[in-house]
């Protein structure tokens, strides 16, 4: 049966139960509102990280009991054996005082659990589903949200207790697995650690304080919680421990008395338990002057104060961060122009964007671009540069005699003249040799076409007008269409370049002014013969003399 929602009761020697409002701090509601807004707009912008509180300790030390007392509701599986077998991430959300409290599991979306016994059963069932029914453990979280007027907005994490001896389905390395799981939560700098140690154990050798010390060596975020003060050995007390004389902690200790197993079996409510706790501390003179370190309400107050301090610390930075973001978002919003709902308006907007894109492309090619850059050549000027500087230079670098040795020429002449000896190069071997050289023009020409293609793609990206930032799908589509269009043009261009080079190879233009042949060639060759340098092939002052034919090479 669900209990009445209660706030922790007020011991006579303690202050009122803490709540965001009662402490008079209005920062928590402000931050909650902010969190709600950011959650609603579904942005990744997380301006503030509220601390989460992880409860650590050895098995059955009373971790779940402490959490329940803080929430003021009875909803966690508790008992003498291992109970918490999966991390339970409990998000507490404060709602209006008039609203009914309820819980919601992430794994059962859309279902509100108004009955807190039902919540406990679901935690048990979900634990069994993942970790099995035989004391097995799993590090897969159960996420539960509790909406209540009596809670502070904070995230609490109930973790499996440290145990050393494996039982049931637990693996042999259970201790190290649990420690690793605990560490993964408490190592976060925004995680407050409630290190729970039962008073009826050896306090000085507390596993909880030891693991908390590993994660938080300076002790800035560890609060020591001593449970089970009611069942300590007669004649012993935890006074010196609560005073921090045994193991000092910056944030100090709080002693609490939770419900015993018998209380739970007798269905004692948390409200009753808080009254009993108050009575206990009142009846123990040894704790009388430690009012600020005893009782669940004090623990809640301490947590609240730390939360407020944390928010106060981050608030100035948060304020300037939000103001700066606001200015830049407003600017961005203004640049997007008017919103339009009608189909006609959308069509006009689309047309407008597309015309702006094509205008930008044209002006980039034509060169009358307004945002003229002085640091780099781009657009039409860059294409001109590719043709005039890069392409021409590459063509000039092609050596017409490369890989054409005297022996190649001599062999070609011999093969062409058969048994006769030859003075001049016959047409056929000349054409064979020269064709091979002309083919060398193909690579630089195709490369020039590819440079132009890449430049056009770059220009297309530069032309993505600012309005397009708002429409990523349209931007991608334009990019795809332009890319495909240019790619479709590149293939035929390369084919055409290949054809032009082939045409040059098929028809050797001997009428070119730079071509030296016929009677002029004979005349030069005769002079060579006369000067007894009758080599059939000779390179001389930029002229390659091939038998009777001379080709200008520079």
Is residue 78 a contact residue for ligand GTP (CB under 6 A)?
yes
| Residue that is written with structure tokens 């064979």 in the block | 432
Stretch binding ligand GTP (CB under 6 A), from 82-90, 173-181, 265-273, 346-354 = 82-90
Around 56, how many Cα atoms within 13 Å sit in the side-chain half-sphere? 33
Is residue 82 a contact residue for ligand GTP (CB under 6 A)?
yes
Shortest spacing between CB 285 and ligand GTP, in angstroms: 19
Shortest spacing between CB 106 and ligand GTP, in angstroms: 20
Q: What is d(CA 166, CA 428) in angstroms, rounded to the nearest whole number?
A: 94
Contact 550, 434 (CB under 8 A): no
DSSP string, 152-164: -SEEEEE-PPB-S
Per CB under 6 A, the list member of 120, 221, 228, 382 interacting with ligand GTP is: 228
CA-nearest of 152, 221, 162 to 186 is: 221
Q: Which is nearer to ligand GTP, 86 or 302 (CB)?
A: 86
Shortest spacing between CB 164 and ligand GTP, in angstroms: 13
Sheet with 543-546, side-by-side order of all strands? 515-516, 549-552, 543-546, 537-540
Is residue 52 a contact residue for ligand GTP (CB under 6 A)?
no
Shortest spacing between CB 277 and ligand GTP, in angstroms: 8
457: exposed, middle or buried (Cβ count in 10 Å: 0-12, 13-18, 19+): middle
Size of the site for ligand GTP (CB under 6 A): 25
**Residues within window 139-198 making contact with ligand GTP, judged by CB under 6 A:** 161
3-state secondary structure of 144: strand
Around 94, how many Cα atoms within 13 Å sit in the side-chain half-sphere? 17
Per CB under 6 A, the list member of 264, 318, 442, 490 interacting with ligand GTP is: 264
| Residue that is written with structure tokens 């959300």 in the block | 93
Q: Which is nearer to ligand GTP, 162 or 425 (CB)?
A: 162
Shortest spacing between CB 160 and ligand GTP, in angstroms: 6
DSSP string, 489-506: HHHHHHHHHHHHHHHHHH
Q: Which is nearer to ligand GTP, 43 or 180 (CB)?
A: 180
DSSP-derived secondary structure letter, 294: B
Contact 87, 346 (CB under 8 A): no
The residue with its CB nearest to ligand GTP is 161
Is residue 258 a contact residue for ligand GTP (CB under 6 A)?
yes
Q: Which is nearer to ligand GTP, 35 or 201 (CB)?
A: 201
Contact 286, 237 (CB under 8 A): yes
Is residue 83 a contact residue for ligand GTP (CB under 6 A)?
yes
Q: Which is nearer to ligand GTP, 261 or 320 (CB)?
A: 261
b/e per residue, 11-34, with b = 16+ CB within 10 A? bebbeebbbbeebebebbeebbee
Cα dihedral: 486, 491, 494, 495 (round 10): -140
Q: Which is nearer to ligand GTP, 156 or 308 (CB)?
A: 156
Q: What is d(CA 229, CA 199) in angstroms, rounded to the nearest whole number?
A: 5
Per CB under 6 A, the list member of 57, 87, 255, 379 interacting with ligand GTP is: 57
Element at 105 (helix H, strand E): strand 102-105
Q: Which is nearer to ligand GTP, 68 or 455 (CB)?
A: 68
Q: Which is nearer to ligand GTP, 175 or 408 (CB)?
A: 175
CA-nearest of 354, 546, 373 to 467 is: 354
Q: Which is nearer to ligand GTP, 84 or 91 (CB)?
A: 84
End-to-end distance of the chain based on CA atoms, in angstroms? 103
344: exposed, middle or buried (Cβ count in 10 Å: 0-12, 13-18, 19+): exposed
Per CB under 6 A, the list member of 260, 284, 305, 417 interacting with ligand GTP is: 260
Q: Which is nearer to ligand GTP, 83 or 452 (CB)?
A: 83
Is residue 259 a contact residue for ligand GTP (CB under 6 A)?
yes
514: exposed, middle or buried (Cβ count in 10 Å: 0-12, 13-18, 19+): exposed
Shortest spacing between CB 105 and ligand GTP, in angstroms: 19
Is residue 231 a contact residue for ligand GTP (CB under 6 A)?
yes
Q: What is d(CA 31, CA 37) in angstroms, rounded to the nearest whole number?
A: 10
Shortest spacing between CB 138 and ligand GTP, in angstroms: 14
Is residue 273 a contact residue for ligand GTP (CB under 6 A)?
no
Is residue 237 a contact residue for ligand GTP (CB under 6 A)?
no
Is residue 63 a contact residue for ligand GTP (CB under 6 A)?
yes
Q: What is d(CA 320, CA 318) in angstroms, rounded to the nearest whole number?
A: 6
- Looking at the DSSP bridge assignments, the partners of residue 515 are 551
Per CB under 6 A, the list member of 16, 46, 176, 261 interacting with ligand GTP is: 261
Is residue 62 a contact residue for ligand GTP (CB under 6 A)?
yes
Per CB under 6 A, the list member of 12, 40, 44, 80 interacting with ligand GTP is: 80
Is residue 248 a contact residue for ligand GTP (CB under 6 A)?
no
The mark string for 480-519 relative to ligand GTP (x by CB under 6 A, - otherwise) is ----------------------------------------
Q: Return residues touching ligand GTP (CB under 6 A).
A: 57, 59-65, 78-80, 82-84, 161, 227-228, 230-231, 257-261, 264
């Amino acid at each position: 049966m669900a209990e009445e929602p209660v706030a922790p009761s007020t011991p006579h020697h303690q202050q009122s139960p803490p709540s965001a409002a009662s402490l008079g701090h209005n920062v928590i509601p402000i931050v909650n509102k902010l969190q709600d807004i950011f959650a609603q707009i579904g942005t990744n912008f997380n301006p503030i990280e509220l601390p989460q509180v992880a409860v650590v300790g050895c098995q059955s030390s009373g971790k779940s009991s402490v959490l329940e007392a803080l929430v003021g509701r009875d909803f966690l599986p508790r008992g003498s054996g291992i109970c918490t077998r999966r991390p339970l991430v409990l998000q507490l959300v404060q709602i209006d005082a008039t609203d009914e409290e309820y819980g919601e599991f992430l794994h059962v979306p859309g279902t509100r659990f108004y009955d807190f016994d039902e919540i406990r059963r679901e935690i048990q069932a979900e634990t069994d589903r993942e970790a099995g029914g035989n004391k097995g453990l799993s590090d897969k979280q159960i996420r539960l949200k509790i909406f209540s007027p009596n809670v502070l907005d904070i995230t609490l994490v109930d973790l499996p207790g440290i145990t050393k001896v494996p039982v049931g389905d637990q693996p042999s390395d259970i201790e190290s697995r649990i420690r690793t799981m605990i560490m993964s939560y408490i190592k976060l700098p925004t995680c407050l650690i409630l290190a729970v140690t039962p008073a009826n154990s050896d306090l000085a050798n507390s596993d909880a304080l030891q693991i908390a010390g590993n994660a938080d060596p300076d002790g800035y975020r560890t609060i020591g919680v001593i449970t089970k003060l009611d069942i300590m050995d007669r004649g012993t007390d935890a006074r010196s421990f609560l005073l921090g004389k045994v193991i000092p902690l910056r944030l100090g200790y709080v002693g609490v008395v939770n419900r015993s197993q018998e209380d739970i079996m007798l269905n004692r409510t948390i409200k009753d338990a808080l009254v009993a706790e108050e009575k206990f501390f009142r009846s123990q003179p040894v704790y009388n002057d430690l009012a600020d370190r005893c009782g669940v309400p004090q623990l809640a107050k301490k947590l609240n104060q730390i939360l407020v301090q944390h928010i106060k610390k981050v608030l100035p930075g948060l304020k300037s961060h939000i103001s700066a973001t606001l200015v830049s978002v407003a600017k961005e919003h203004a640049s997007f122009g008017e919103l339009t709902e009608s189909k006609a308006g959308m069509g006009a907007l689309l047309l407008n964007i597309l015309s702006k894109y094509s205008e930008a492309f044209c002006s980039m090619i034509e060169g009358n671009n307004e945002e003229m850059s002085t640091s780099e050549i781009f657009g039409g000027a860059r294409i001109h540069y590719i043709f005039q500087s890069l392409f021409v230079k590459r063509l000039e670098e092609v050596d017409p005699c490369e890989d054409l040795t005297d022996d190649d020429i001599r062999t070609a002449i011999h093969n062409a003249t058969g048994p006769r000896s030859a003075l001049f190069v016959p047409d056929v071997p000349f054409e064979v040799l020269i064709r091979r050289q002309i083919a060398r023009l193909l690579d630089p020409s195709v490369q020039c076409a590819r440079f132009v293609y890449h430049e056009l793609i770059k220009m297309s990206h530069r032309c993505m007008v600012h309005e397009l930032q708002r429409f990523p799908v349209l931007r991608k589509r334009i990019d795809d269409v332009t890319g495909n269009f240019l790619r479709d043009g590149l293939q035929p261009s390369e084919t055409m370049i290949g054809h032009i080079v082939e045409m040059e190879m098929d028809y050797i233009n001997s009428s070119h002014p730079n071509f030296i042949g016929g009677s002029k060639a004979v005349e030069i060759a005769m002079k060579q013969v006369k000067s007894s340098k009758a080599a059939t092939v000779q390179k001389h002052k930029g002229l390659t003399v091939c038998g009777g034919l001379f080709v200008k090479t520079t």
